[in-house]
Amino acid sequence: MIRGAVGAPVKHASKGRIYDMKELKPRERVERVLRHEPVDRVPLFYRFKHEAKEKLARVYGIEDASTGRAHNPDLELRLGNDIVLYQVGINADFSHRHIEIGETWHNHFGVGYGKSGLQGRNAEEQAEFSKTQEFWGPAKVVPENFPSSHPIQSVEELANYTWPDPADPAILDPIDEIIEKYGDDYWIIVDMSSTLIEAAYAHIVGTQKFFLMMFDEPDMIAGVLDGLTEYYTELGRNIIKKGVDMVRVGDDVGAQQAMMISPAQWRELAKPRFKYMFDAWRKERSDIYIKLHSCGDYSPIIGDMVELGVDLSGLMQPTGGNKEQVELKKKYGNDIAFVGGFDVQNLLPRGQVEDIRKGVHDTIKNLGTGGGYIFSPSHYVLADVPVQNIYAMLEAQRDFSTYGRYPLD
Task: State how many domains the chain has.
Answer: 1
What CA–CA distance (Å, rounded) separates 80 from 373? 16
Average pLDDT, the chain: 86
- Whether residue 409 lies inside any domain: the answer is no
pLDDT at residue number 142: 53
Greater model confidence, 169 or 322 = 169
Q: Tell me, what DSSP letter sits at residue 206?
A: -
Instruction: Compute the average pLDDT of residues 124-153.
Output: 64
Q: Tell me, what DSSP letter sits at residue 25?
A: -
- Whether residue 352 lies inside any domain: the answer is yes
Grouping H, G, I as helix, E, B as strand and the rest as coil, residue 143 is: coil
| CB 138, CB 384: distance < 8 Å | yes
pLDDT at residue number 102: 77
H/E element holding 113? strand 112-116
| CB 300, CB 256: distance < 8 Å | no
Side-chain-side CA neighbours of 343 within 13 Å: the count stands at 22
Q: Taking 50 as the threshold, does the pLDDT of residue 112 lie above it?
A: yes
- Whether residue 112 lies inside any domain: the answer is no
Radius of gyration for the alpha carbons in the chain, expressed in angstroms and rounded? 21
Q: What's the chain's length in residues?
A: 409
CATH code, 199: 3.20.20.210
- Whether residue 407 lies inside any domain: the answer is no
Q: Provide the 10 A C-beta neighbour count for residue 5.
A: 19
Greater model confidence, 107 or 10 = 107
What CA–CA distance (Å, rounded) separates 160 from 131? 46
**Any idea which of 62-66, 89-93, 206-210, 316-320 has the lowest mean pLDDT?**
316-320
- Band (pLDDT 50/70/90 cuts) for residue 100 is confident
Q: Taking 70 as the threshold, does the pLDDT of residue 378 lie above it?
A: yes
- Whether residue 408 lies inside any domain: the answer is no
Instruction: Compute the average pLDDT of residues 370-396.
Output: 91
Which tens digits make up the pLDDT trace of 327-359? 999 999 999 999 999 999 899 999 999 999 999
- Whether residue 6 lies inside any domain: the answer is no
Q: Domain range spanning residue 293?
A: 11-89+165-400
Class of residue 341 by CB neighbours under 10 A (exposed 0-12, middle 13-18, buried 19+) = buried
Class of residue 408 by CB neighbours under 10 A (exposed 0-12, middle 13-18, buried 19+) = middle
What CA–CA distance (Å, rounded) separates 197 from 371? 31
- Whether residue 364 lies inside any domain: the answer is yes
What CA–CA distance (Å, rounded) separates 317 from 300? 14
Cα torsion through 89, 338, 210, 117, rounded to 10? -80
- Band (pLDDT 50/70/90 cuts) for residue 193 is confident
Write out the DSSP string of 307-369. HTT-SEEE---TTTT---HHHHHHHHTTT-EEEEEE-TTTHHHH--HHHHHHHHHHHHHHHHB
| Most confident segment among 19-28, 160-169, 358-367 | 160-169
What CA–CA distance (Å, rounded) separates 404 from 406? 6
Handedness of CA 36, 179, 379, 309 (dihedral sign): negative
- Whether residue 108 lies inside any domain: the answer is no
Among 204, 242, 227, smallest CA distance to 86 is for 242
